[in-house]
Amino acid sequence: MMKSLILQTATKLLFPLLLLFSIFLFLRGHNDPGGGFIGGLVGAAAFALFAISSGTEKARELLRIDPTFMIGLGLFFALLSGVISMYAGTPFLTGHWAFPMVFGAEMHLGSPILFDIGVYLVVVGFTLAVIFSLEEEG
């Protein structure tokens, strides 16, 4: 942990921005470059920055879920996206889509997004598990 006023102030501003950007990148992955992996890295960067400026204890509190638990949860989501297609009688990981109307606009909702959520969680969980334990040792 670094006791730096500049870093702490900057983090306060950057933290929500990074999280928003991470969600933006995640959703953008639907049809454009982006997705769970890169979104997850940016999301992890936000928490890593917080951990460096305010200590891992506070960062863990803010994250609420334990990083290792997140890895398991992510794997679970990814698995779910494949199993849904098996349940529907198609091969593993086949995409299934629904097109509900939300506020007058058509949504493209598909099972691949579950896989991407899984990737997002695994990336955030793994990165933070590594960074937190490195911070706590050093």
Partner 1 sequence: MDHLLTLPVLIPLLTGAIAFLFYKNGTVQRWIGLAGTVALLIASILLLVDVWSNGIQAEQFGNWPAPFGISFVADLLSSIMITISGVMGFVVAVYAVADIDKTREKFGFYPLYHILLMGINGTFLTGDIFNMYVWFEVMLISSFVLLALGNAKAQLDGAVKYVIINLVGSAIFLMGIGFVYGLTGTLNMAELSVRLNEVDNAGLVTTVSMFFMISFGIKAAVFPLFFWLPASYHTPPVAVSAIFAGMLTKVGVYTLIRAFTLLFTQEVAYTHHIILWISGLTMLIGVLGAAAQSEVRRILSFHIISQIGYMIMGLALYTPLALIGSVFYIVHHIIVKTNLFLVGGLARKLTGSYELKKMGGLYRYYPWLGVLFLIPAFSLAGFPPLSGFWAKFTLIYAALEIESYWIAGVALLVGLLTLYSMTKIWMAAFWTPLPGYENDTTGAGFNKIGPRDMFLLVTPIVILATLTIIIGLFPEPFYELSLKAAEELLDPTNYINAVLGK
**Of the listed pieces 2-10, 34-42, 72-80, 101-109, which binds partner 1 according to CB under 8 A?**
72-80
- Residue whose CB is less far from partner 1, 18 or 117: 117
Residues in the interface with partner 1 (CB under 8 A) total 19
Q: Report the C-alpha gap between 5 and 54 in whole angstroms.
A: 10
- Residue whose CB is less far from partner 1, 38 or 122: 122
Q: Which residues between 97 and 126 bind partner 1 (CB under 8 A)?
A: none
Q: Tell me 97's DSSP state.
A: E
3-state secondary structure of 93: coil
Q: Which of 61, 90, 97, 108 binds partner 1 (CB under 8 A)?
A: 90
Q: Kindly report the backbone phi and psi dihedral angles of residue 64, in degrees, each rounded to the nearest multiple of 5, phi listed first.
A: 65, -50
Say how many Å lie between the first and final Cα of the chain, rounded. 9
Site string for partner 1, 17-56 (x = CB under 8 A): ----------------------------------------
Q: How many CB atoms lie within 10 A of CB 14?
A: 17
Work out whether 72 is an interface residue with partner 1 (CB under 8 A).
yes
Of 109, 120, 20, 133, whose CA–CA distance to 73 is shortest?
Answer: 120
- Residue whose CB is less far from partner 1, 53 or 118: 118
Q: Report the C-alpha gap between 50 and 14 in whole angstroms.
A: 9
**Of the listed pieces 21-29, 40-48, 90-98, 100-108, which binds partner 1 according to CB under 8 A?**
90-98
Q: Report the C-alpha gap between 110 and 68 in whole angstroms.
A: 27
Catalog residues that contact partner 1 under the rule CB under 8 A.
Answer: 68-69, 71-73, 75-76, 79, 82-83, 85-86, 89-95
